[in-house]
Amino acid sequence: MIELDRAGRTFRVKRTLVHAVRDLSFTVAPGEFVGYLGPNGAGKSTTIKMLCGILTPSSGRVRVAGLDPSRKRTTLARRIGVVFGQRTTLWWDLPLKDSFELIRLLYKVDRGTFARRLAELTETLDLGDFLRTPVRQLSLGQRMRGDLAAALLHAPDVLVLDEPTIGLDVVSKASIRAFLARVNAEQGTTVLLTTHDLGDIERLCRRVMLIDHGSLAFDGTLDDLMASAPGHATIEEVVTHLYTSSRQ
């Protein structure tokens, strides 16, 4: 592609093709709580963007709740909730409560059901003190709880989380972990959790998938993961071993 700079001179933009994921295949059953691990740049966020229809794969087949995400993004939106820990999906200048009201309108949730769910989420995520605060004034931990509530207000079957505990203190992390365990156990919500915090994985995930260079390097139970690297006692050691051995 040839473009002009401000002075009207031409310069060439070099394009390179990046295979963010390739030969990646997995199935998650309803009600599972799966950890999705991998080093920086492994392809986790790319996978998540394909699962919710933000990115369309150049080849292959993706189905979430029986739907093709890139072709049925709007229909799928009613069945899936997504949290990107690094980026809020809330309206920056609006009080949290107003963001929730907009979500109610977008997802066409009736007022009664919405009020009941909001009351539940306000209690379990302890949102009461800052429901009227503009999102830009919230601390990271408060904003993350707001984002989680926003992702669950329409009671999706599938919850996809991309680093929902990033930057949180130990107490906030513990309360978000307890909340996620409860959503999975009580509502049967299927959860796919991406995190670099191995404590999240240990405490929440029965199954772990590990991706590197865009392909699955491990898929099994947490126990299988721990047994996969004999001589390594902690999950940090096991995962370090897997990340480094797959790069040699």
Ligand X SMILES: Nc1ncnc2c1ncn2[C@@H]1O[C@H](COP(=O)(O)OP(=O)(O)OP(=O)(O)O)[C@@H](O)[C@H]1O
What whole-number distance in Å separates Cα of residue 228 and Cα of residue 238?
Answer: 8
Contact status: 85 vs ligand X (CB under 6 A): no
Site mask, Mg ion, residues 29-68, x = CB under 5 A?
A: ---------------xx-----------------------
Contacts 24+ apart (CB under 8 A), 67-71: none
Determine the interface stretch with ligand X among 42-50, 110-118, 135-143, 217-225 (rule: CB under 6 A).
42-50
Residue 43 found at the interface with ligand X (CB under 6 A): yes
Of Mg ion, ligand X, none, which one sits near residue 41, judging by CB under 5 to 8 A according to partner kind?
A: ligand X
85 Cα distance to chain centroid: 7
Among 38, 69, 85, 95, binds ligand X (CB under 6 A): 38
* Closer residue to Mg ion in complex, CB, 117/212: 212
From the list Mg ion, ligand X, none, partner contacted by residue 20 (C-beta under 5 to 8 A by kind): ligand X
Radius of gyration of the chain (CA): 20
Structure tokens at 51: 């699962």
- We find the least distance from the C-beta atom of residue 43 to ligand X, in angstroms, to be 4
C-alpha distances out from residue 128 to 5, 63, 97, 146, 156, Å: 51, 37, 10, 11, 23
DSSP string, 7-75: TS-EEEPP-----SS-S------TT-EEEEE--TTSSHHHHHHHHTTSS--SSS---BTTB-TTTSHHH
Site membership for Mg ion, residue 165 (CB under 5 A): no
Nearer of residues 56 and 137 to ligand X, judged by Cβ:
56
For residues 139 and 215, which CB has a smaller minimum distance to ligand X in the complex?
215
Q: How far, in Å, are 174, 193, 196 from residue 180 at the CA level?
A: 10, 10, 16
Question: CB of 88: closest distance to ligand X in angstroms?
Answer: 16
Does 128 interact with ligand X (rule: CB under 6 A)? no
CB of 53 to ligand X, least distance (A): 16
39 or 95, CB closer to ligand X?
39
Could you give phi then psi for residue 86, rounded to 5 degrees? -80, -10
- The helix/strand/coil state of 91 is coil
Closer to ligand X by Cβ: residue 88 or 122: 88
Cβ distance to Mg ion smaller for residue 95 or 214: 214
Residues of this chain that bind ligand X (CB under 6 A): 18, 20, 38, 40-46
